[in-house]
Amino acid sequence: MAKKAKTTNKTTDKQRFQKIKSFFGNRQTQTILGAFLVLFSIFLLSSFISYLFNWQQDQSQLDSFTDKKVTVNNLLGKIGASLSHLSIYKGFGIAAMYIPILLFFTGISIFLKGTLIKVRKFWGWGLLGMVWISISLAFFANKNALLAGVVGFELNSYLQQFLGKTGLILSLLFLLITYLVIRFKLTPEMVHSAVKSNKTALEDNEINNDKKEEHSEEIIPVISVPQPTVDIPLTKKPTPIFEKPDNELDFKIINSEEPKEENITIDVDNIVEENQVDENLSDQLVKDFGEFDPTLELGNYKFPTLNLLRDYNESISVDQEELEANKNRIVETLNNYNIGIDRIKATVGPTVTLYEIVPEAGVRISKIKNLEDDIALSLSAMGIRIIAPIPGKGTIGIEVPNKKPTMVSMKSVISSIKFQNSEMELPIALGKTISNETFVVDLAKMPHLLMAGATGQGKSVGLNAVLTSLLYKKHPAEVKFVLVDPKKVELTLFNKIERHYLAKLPDTDEAIITDTTKVINTLNSLCIEMDARYDLLKSAMVRNIKEYNVKFKARKLNPENGHKFLPYIVLVIDEFADLIMTAGKEVETPIARLAQLARAIGIHLIVATQRPSVNVITGIIKANFPARAAFRVTSKIDSRTILDTSGADQLIGKGDMLFSAGNDLIRLQCAFVDTPEVEKITDFIGSQRAYPDAHMLPEYSGEEIGTSLDIDISERDALFRDAALVIVHAQQGSASLLQRKLKLGYNRAGRLIDQLEAAGIVGPFEGSKARQVLVADEAALNFLLNNEEN
């Protein structure tokens, strides 16, 4: 209970956090907040400055804050004076001036939608600087109380107790150096070169000045020395260029060298460090906006509550008499066949009790297995199953049905800790094992499930249990169902959650598919979806949907490139036999293809049938459905068809089932969920805010897909021109862009893209990439469309 409450608390906390985040992410909020901060900072700064001149007079007035007669001199009135008093006198002294400055830059940043990362740094350094200054100025606090403020003064004297005055000064100095080194990357070399260049500049200035004084008259010829003299080697005696007396030439060389050194200085460009970001874009996006949350669109969605499910009186009662009688009969029967028993142990489950037998040494196990029917006869009960030996144990199991079976309610399995705490992708609480443990499996790992059983043995209840489990654990954004129900009655209730959880083909009214041709289209559409998802996985360089979604949530995949959060798709086919009989290969081929390939991209199949014959469950289907659930069937052959072994014919019906996910067979009592319970759950979900439509699967229209282009101008969509503008402005030809900008359905956006292709505005389909836009700008578009009309 406590854990549950904790989980609910966590979800509400998360939702609250999301709400706050979206409130502050809103541009209007940002503009108001930004403007407020800027103006408030001006208010503060003005009041601070005014306080510096009026603090002595104002201080004594602040006690009578509400008294009308008392006035203050501060430019910003009593509030200004109080805030200044608090920040400067009682706070950090004149270093408090940092506060309005920091607020000002924060406000500007929010107002202009700049990044807040720089501001954060600014605040960090600013606050440190403020404390540093106020502690440092506290050494002079006796000169003026405003220099350090109470905080600076107290901190200073507190620290002095530990470090002494000199120690504190040295520490402050160390902090200053650290600050300069970290903030401005200052090194001794830099200081040295700066001092040197300053010195040289000074000396040069002095020399120049001296020379000016010494040679104030001779300087004129120097200036007039022509440029070629510069190239004369200094060591050699220079060749006279001008026919002038020697002494003049000497003079010239000296002078020609000097300007060379003076004028030809090397200009070292400042080393401009390339701008670098502290963190990569996706981390920054995650920091600014948080991880992408697919559930945000239905942020207020509430998961169905446990009280929608019914309580059945289901505590297992151990009937000692029955146990004793069964034990005696087992021992007796085995003794009749000369099989001695060492020990016997009973585990009472909801429908059957497992008697674990340790036979005497030397008894062959196959002997017991062969006596299965005889033992069953002498126990005069149907549904005896002998497990010889129990895998992993050296014992032999005999499962004997209880006289009074206990129902396993859906509520008991859904509320189990095992299910509630499961971290699985698609957890399914199928029922309870023979030792009364809740059995939870991950559909994503199976990855497809085949369910079979004779009519009336609990298949439909089993399907409902699977769907209910997922509804209790997965948000509508995370999983979508494609429901195929040729019997037209079993899954109808799920119609109510169409816009939350169902996926359907575009242009269809009913999400639950009942007729065969639609099934074929849907299966093929799922194949298209599968291929598209593979393309997305490939371009995201991940191996499966889980990694893909993690990457997408971490904002490492750009939605502009067609990436989107991928919900799991669970295809449920009730009565598969009907389909195979009517459509044969047409359904078998896409189902086999999906079953073979769809596991990595999050499409999982659950196929149920009452006729487990080999022409329904063909080799191809079987090979791709390693997870199988068998309810009671009528013959051993049927059992072999489903499970590759007998056993399902020995079940007792009413949800008694065998589950195999590879090698081991597990006997389970399927959880029972009644139609009224399913109705309550679907009503609960259906009454909440939903998506505008069911999840749209890609369009599949038989053979001619993708070849028909609407060439006829008169048949163009009314939004054709708007769509063209959107595409040309964004320079990106994607249907999802149109869906978003023009608020269109998938179908209409797809048709518009086709029409734009026919008009030569976008290029042809290029897989998962957006189509190329062939028109450069609005002017070119207008020209093209006007030309068309003419």
Ligand X SMILES: Nc1ncnc2c1ncn2[C@@H]1O[C@H](COP(=O)(O)OP(=O)(O)OP(=O)(O)O)[C@@H](O)[C@H]1O
Binding site for ligand X (CB under 6 A): 407, 453, 455-461, 610, 654-655, 670, 672
CA distances from 419 to 412, 440, 461, 465, 662 (A): 10, 6, 19, 13, 22
- Please state the length of the chain: 790
Q: Which is nearer to ligand X, 150 or 454 (CB)?
A: 454
Q: Which is nearer to ligand X, 277 or 489 (CB)?
A: 489
CA dihedral 442, 448, 453, 459 (to 10 degrees): 60
Do residues 726 and 739 make contact, with C-beta atoms less than 8 angstroms apart? no
Sheet with strand 396-401: strands edge to edge: 341-348, 352-359, 396-401, 385-387
Q: Which is nearer to ligand X, 328 or 635 (CB)?
A: 635
453 is in an annotated binding site: yes
Q: Which is nearer to ligand X, 679 or 722 (CB)?
A: 679
Q: Which is nearer to ligand X, 472 or 700 (CB)?
A: 472
We find the least distance from the C-beta atom of residue 410 to ligand X, in angstroms, to be: 9
Q: Which is nearer to ligand X, 463 or 536 (CB)?
A: 463
State residue 219 phi and psi, 5-degree precision: -65, -25
Residues whose CB is less than 8 angstroms from the CB of residue 681 and which lie 6 or more positions away in sequence, other chains included: 304, 308, 309, 468, 471
Do residues 552 and 562 make contact, with C-beta atoms less than 8 angstroms apart? no
Gap between the Cα atoms of 262 and 8, Å rounded: 78
State residue 509 phi and psi, 5-degree precision: -85, -50
Q: Which is nearer to ligand X, 459 or 496 (CB)?
A: 459
We find the least distance from the C-beta atom of residue 490 to ligand X, in angstroms, to be: 6
Q: Which is nearer to ligand X, 426 or 491 (CB)?
A: 491
455 is in an annotated binding site: yes
Q: Which is nearer to ligand X, 121 or 487 (CB)?
A: 487
We find the least distance from the C-beta atom of residue 572 to ligand X, in angstroms, to be: 13
Gap between the Cα atoms of 103 and 346, Å rounded: 74
602 is in an annotated binding site: no
Rg from Cα positions in the chain:
42
Gap between the Cα atoms of 483 and 500, Å rounded: 14
State residue 168 phi and psi, 5-degree precision: -65, -40
We find the least distance from the C-beta atom of residue 687 to ligand X, in angstroms, to be: 26
We find the least distance from the C-beta atom of residue 406 to ligand X, in angstroms, to be: 9
CA distances from 122 to 10, 104, 450 (A): 33, 11, 61
We find the least distance from the C-beta atom of residue 667 to ligand X, in angstroms, to be: 13
Q: Which is nearer to ligand X, 334 or 651 (CB)?
A: 651
We find the least distance from the C-beta atom of residue 463 to ligand X, in angstroms, to be: 8
CA distances from 663 to 43, 446, 594, 627 (A): 76, 13, 23, 10
763 is in an annotated binding site: no
Tokens representing residue 208 in the block: 């120049």
State residue 699 phi and psi, 5-degree precision: -70, 140
We find the least distance from the C-beta atom of residue 744 to ligand X, in angstroms, to be: 40
60 class by beta-carbon count within 10 Å (0-12 exposed, 13-18 middle, 19+ buried): exposed
E strand or H helix at 503, and its extent? strand 503-504
We find the least distance from the C-beta atom of residue 660 to ligand X, in angstroms, to be: 18
We find the least distance from the C-beta atom of residue 673 to ligand X, in angstroms, to be: 8
We find the least distance from the C-beta atom of residue 484 to ligand X, in angstroms, to be: 15
397 is in an annotated binding site: no
Q: Which residues pair with 481 in a beta bridge?
A: 502, 570
Q: Which is nearer to ligand X, 445 or 488 (CB)?
A: 488
Neighbours of 265 (CB within 10 A): 9
Gap between the Cα atoms of 500 and 470, Å rounded: 13
21 class by beta-carbon count within 10 Å (0-12 exposed, 13-18 middle, 19+ buried): middle
Gap between the Cα atoms of 306 and 485, Å rounded: 27
DSSP class of residue 512?
A: S
Q: Which is nearer to ligand X, 375 or 642 (CB)?
A: 642
Structure-token match 């195999």, residue found: 660
We find the least distance from the C-beta atom of residue 457 to ligand X, in angstroms, to be: 5
Q: Which is nearer to ligand X, 405 or 698 (CB)?
A: 405
CA torsion through residues 739, 745, 749, 750, sign: positive
Q: Which residues pair with 345 in a beta bridge?
A: 356
- Closest C-alpha among 425, 436, 331 to residue 669: 436
456 is in an annotated binding site: yes
596 is in an annotated binding site: no
We find the least distance from the C-beta atom of residue 456 to ligand X, in angstroms, to be: 5
Gap between the Cα atoms of 746 and 368, Å rounded: 63
Q: Which is nearer to ligand X, 85 or 432 (CB)?
A: 432
How close are the terminal C-alpha atoms of the chain, in Å? Answer: 74
DSSP for 233-274, please give it.
-SSSPPPP-S---HHHHHHHHHHHHHHHHHH----PPP--PP
We find the least distance from the C-beta atom of residue 518 to ligand X, in angstroms, to be: 21
533 class by beta-carbon count within 10 Å (0-12 exposed, 13-18 middle, 19+ buried): buried
We find the least distance from the C-beta atom of residue 458 to ligand X, in angstroms, to be: 3
Question: Closest residue (Cβ) to ligand X?
Answer: 655
Q: Which is nearer to ligand X, 84 or 457 (CB)?
A: 457
Gap between the Cα atoms of 419 and 440, Å rounded: 6
745-765: string of b/e by CB count within 10 Å (b at 16+)?
Answer: ebebbbbbbbbbbbbebbeee
CA torsion through residues 486, 490, 493, 497, sign: negative
Residues marked as binding for ATP? 453-460
Residues marked as binding? 453-460
